[in-house]
Amino acid sequence: MLDTSVLIADPTCVLEFRDVDVVVPLTVVEELDGLKSRSDDVGRAARTALRTLEELRVRHGGSLAEPVPTGADNATLQIEINNIRKHLLLEHGLDASVPDNRIIGAAIGQSDFGPTTMISNDAALRIKAAHLGVDAAEHRLTTSDRPTAAIGWTTIDAAYEAIDCLYAAGAIAVDAVLGADAEQPRENEFAVLRCGSQSALVRTVDDEFVLLPQQSPEPWGLRPRNKEQRFALELLLDPDIAVIALDGRAGTGKTLLAIAAGLEMVVEQRQYERLAVYRPLVPVGRADVGFLPGGLDEKLDPWMSAIHDAIVALSDQGNSHDASNLVDELTDRGQLSLESVTFLRGRSLQRQMVLIDEAQNLEPTTLRTILTRVGDGTKVIFTGDTSQIDAPYLGENNNALSVLAGAFADQRCFGHITLTACERSSVASLAAELL
């Protein structure tokens, strides 16, 4: 049994379930109909989900009242019209006119025909469903066969001979360290090889551990403060890595690292023509950008303050005046642009370094839109905190950042690091730990 939030997060998921009978309550179709007129990603997802159901309906004779095959292995789809157990909802004090409660009532009715699981990204709906005796689970949208790496790097105990060989040759075969039967690390995953007091920082490239340079990179004068930041900079400054995901809580340096690397590669090294920063306009409280006074730049200022703060931190002595002058100068020269993700549709990004900040607030459909805009010589960096999501219908597992990390795992052009250590200040670090 699928609820509306699942079809918004993954509009074509009804075609991907295998060896199950998928049931969509008619109430869900009604909710999708109410959302389809929205001009944002929720509206686009609703329209896609409705088109998917309509194509199945037409293909199988004009009705989904009875189960029809979806094309996946032993899977069927049905739209449930009746069989909503209203009396059980009322007995538990639930209003049968509320759409979520009607979905639960439909799931209770389906349980008469066999084991039924309610799939929903709405935690409240899952709690209520479980309370009424219906199994409930969250929908996990990912195409990776392996679970997403927690932090993008690991610590490995190695023989001292292997570490000596690594330092001598600059690289060593993964099998020589882990053995042929061990689980292989992902492409571009980092590791700390240790043996007693010996250690080495390495990156997985093809079937080898490649030793990182002894001198840490310092783009735009920024020195990494921990291993995770060092690993992130290795990915950010590598032109062969076209897509990067940086996850982590507030104060870990995600945006700062990306901005510093972008300025270094655009202004100093000139490997890219422009640093283009995009942010989703998803404030707390869902305030509309159109109600803010002024022109477009003034409307975007509240959302771009974090980018200005990052450039202030990179300027000498944290001077905000110098940072503002730098932003104006780079903007006038066409080397920096600050825009909303809304403006990406229809664009073609050539030889740019693109930063998508707060990517945890983007739907997976927007992720596809962004990546299909990427042209030759462009690098795209997604940053965000998957534990802090402001957008509706999204959770820690079905937002754009998490989906990207799962879908692109093991790709040569992709790298992923989760930053865990707060480096903003001692106060910020204490707040993150104690509060």
pLDDT digits (tens, 9 = 90+) for 337-388: 888 777 676 778 899 999 999 899 888 888 888 999 889 899 999 999 987 8
* Residue 402 resides in a domain: yes
pLDDT at 190: 96
Task: Write the DSSP assignment of 43-56 as a string of letters.
Answer: HHHHHHHHHHHHHH
Q: What does the buried/exposed string (b/e) look like for 398-430 if buried means 16 or more CB atoms within 10 Å of the residue's CB? A: bbbbbbbbbbbbeeeebbbbbbebbbeeeeeee
pLDDT at 288: 47
**Does 149 have pLDDT greater than 70?**
no
Q: Scan for tokens 């300027």, then name that residue.
A: 315
> Does residue 84 share a domain with residue 190?
no
| Closest by CA position to 255, among listed 305, 207, 217 | 305
Q: Scan for tokens 């799962």, then name that residue.
A: 406
* Whether 397 contacts 232, CB under 8 Å: no
pLDDT at 312: 83
What are 413's two structure tokens? 């052009």
Q: Of the residues 101, 122, 138, which one is the last residue of a structural domain? A: 138
* Whether 46 contacts 365, CB under 8 Å: no
Per-residue pLDDT tens over the stretch 206-265:
999 999 999 999 999 999 999 999 999 999 999 999 999 999 988 899 999 999 999 999
pLDDT at 46: 92
How far is Cα 281 from Cα 342, in angstroms, rounded to an integer? 8
**Does 158 have pLDDT greater than 90?**
yes
Q: Which of 17-21, 79-83, 367-371 has the lowest mean pLDDT?
A: 79-83
- DSSP single-letter state for residue 264: I
- On the CB side of 245, CA atoms within 13 Å amount to 29
| Closest by CA position to 264, among listed 322, 314, 214 | 314
pLDDT at 285: 38
pLDDT at 434: 75
pLDDT at 430: 78
* Whether 331 contacts 337, CB under 8 Å: yes
Residue 404, domain CATH = 3.40.50.300
- If one counts the domains in the chain, the total is 3
| Closest by CA position to 209, among listed 220, 201, 217, 221 | 201
Considering all CA atoms of the chain, what is the largest pairwise distance in Å, rounded to the nearest integer? Answer: 75
**Does 335 have pLDDT greater than 60?**
yes
pLDDT at 229: 96
Q: What does the buried/exposed string (b/e) look like for 24-52 if buried means 16 or more CB atoms within 10 Å of the residue's CB? A: bbbbbbebbeebbeeeebbebbbbbbbeb
pLDDT at 398: 79
> Does residue 158 share a domain with residue 126?
no
pLDDT at 117: 95
Q: Which of 82-96, 123-137, 266-280 has the lowest mean pLDDT?
A: 82-96
> Does residue 377 share a domain with residue 265?
yes
How far is Cα 69 from Cα 40, in angstroms, rounded to an integer? 31
* Residue 270 resides in a domain: yes
Helix axes 400-407, 364-371, angle to 10 degrees: 60
Mean pLDDT over 286-295 rounds to 49
pLDDT at 261: 96
* Residue 220 resides in a domain: no
What are 193's two structure tokens? 């090889």
> Does residue 314 share a domain with residue 171?
no
* Residue 219 resides in a domain: no
Show the domain range for 174: 146-214
What pTM did the predictor assign? 0.74
Q: What is the dihedral of CA 331, 324, 237, 370, to 10 degrees?
A: -50
Q: Which of 45-49, 316-320, 358-362 has the lowest mean pLDDT?
A: 316-320
Mean pLDDT over 20-32 rounds to 94
Mean per-residue pLDDT over the chain, rounded: 86
* Whether 108 contacts 133, CB under 8 Å: yes
pLDDT at 297: 54
* Helix residue spans in 372-419 (DSSP H): 400-407
> Does residue 254 share a domain with residue 386?
yes
